Structures are given as structure tokens and as C-alpha cells.
Amino acid sequence: MASMNLHEFNYHARQERAELVWEYGRFLCIRYKGGCSIVLYHMGEFFAEVWYSPTQNRIKLVRGFSSQANLEPYLKMINLKTLMG
């Protein structure tokens, strides 16, 4: 992926963001909340979440972020040191 930053990623429409995640993202882990499967991906310079509703069979949200606060729900499931290198 040509180095896309977080702002450029979030500028795209939801479906385009999903396609970028599937093409360039590195799967890290999955969690569940409010009936959704929330999948975390590493996108190089930032992270992305894909919120999928199995009951509706659709992607509800795709968002990119770089803040540590948004990583909090995942910190016990992933080792961030493995991403450095």
C-alpha cells in the first residue's frame, strides 16, 4: 500500500475502507460487542476496526484510529511489540 495515513483512510467511504483493510491490513484479533464481531487490523501507520453484524449480514462500521485509548479493549489479546519490526 502506498503509505496511506489515517486521515486519507478515514476520508474514504465505508465500503472502500473495508476493501483497503482486506487488501492491506494485517489481522490482529477479534472481539465481540453488542451483537457485532469487531476485527482489529494493523494498517502500518494506524489500526482499523471492522464491525460486522452477523444477524444483519453486513458491515456496520469501518474506522481507523491511532490512539492508545481505542486499543484498550485489545491490549490483553495482542502483543504490540510484534508489530515493531
> Among residues 17, 22, 25, 31, which one has the least CA distance to residue 71?
31
**3-state SS, one letter per residue, for 4-69:** CCHHHHHHCCHHHHHHHHHHHCEEEEEEEECCEEEEEEECCCCEEEEEEECCCCEEEEEEEECCHH
pLDDT tens profile 33-70: 999 999 999 999 999 999 999 999 999 999 999 998 99
Q: What average pLDDT does the segment 13-19 reach?
A: 96
Please tell me the pTM assigned to this model: 0.88
Q: Which of 68, 61, 64 is nearest to 33 (CA)?
A: 61
